[in-house]
Structure 1
């Protein structure tokens, strides 16, 4: 697949749940990226039947281009519960970056928008 920086907006949807440990090896695929971020995700203990989708972009060095943004929120509970859940997802992405990307992945990742859905562990 040929990549064009201006004409292609790459969206990767990965469902995230609370499991795993941080991976130290180079990340070669978007599945590897999802697993690495998954290892950092810890939903608030009182959250059930909740999810948030974040949108974010990486630089080629594996760091974020700006903060992740919530693009879809479905959190059970009050405004405080919603903020806690969204903030926990944002913190998971921020504390896992910069990612150690393989050159082959880093070459095409810069500036593309990715989406990831973070779920509570029901």
Structure 2
């Protein structure tokens, strides 16, 4: 039977690896060459390239699109949900910022296994501009 200290050391090592991966995915720079291996990492890679325009807090848009095995876009993304503001110019700027982020992020550097998993499947990330004071 393993000693208690061995078990605690193993648990701490696992926690540090998980914590490190979560921090890295949250701090992923736009156009990072690091391979994307999960849906969470895919979202982080796209969101890293997105900067919502000032004045768009609370606006939200869900895009539906598919990617090829190599991380390139298939067809054109389509909006499946939107909650935009009353100012048409701000709403257009918000949508444009999302399309620009997708354009910057793609092609995604997907791992072989991720490429197989997402190839041709519909993906639907939701982009929501944070309200002031939200995390």
Aligning the two structures, in what range does the TM-score lie when normalised by the shorter sequence?
0.7 to 0.9
Q: Which residue of 2 aligns with 1:82?
A: 91
Structure 2 gap ranges (5+): 1-26
> In structure 1, the residue corresponding to 2:127 is in which secondary structure?
strand
Structure 1 gap ranges (5+): 1-18
Q: Which residue of 1 aligns with 2:121?
A: 112
> In structure 2, the residue corresponding to 1:52 is in which secondary structure?
strand
Instruction: Count the aligned residue pairs.
Output: 104
For residue 20 of structure 1, report the CA deviation from its aligned partner: 5.1
Q: TM-score, normalised by structure 2?
A: 0.71
Q: Which residue of 1 aligns with 2:79?
A: 70
What is the root-mean-square deviation in Å for CA atoms of aligned residues? 1.4
Report which of the two has the higher share of helix: 2
CA distance in 2, matches of 1:67, 1:94: 11
For residue 108 of structure 1, report the CA deviation from its aligned partner: 2.1
CA contact (8 A) 2:53 2:93 kept: yes
Structure whose CA Rg is larger: 2
Q: TM-score, normalised by structure 1?
A: 0.78
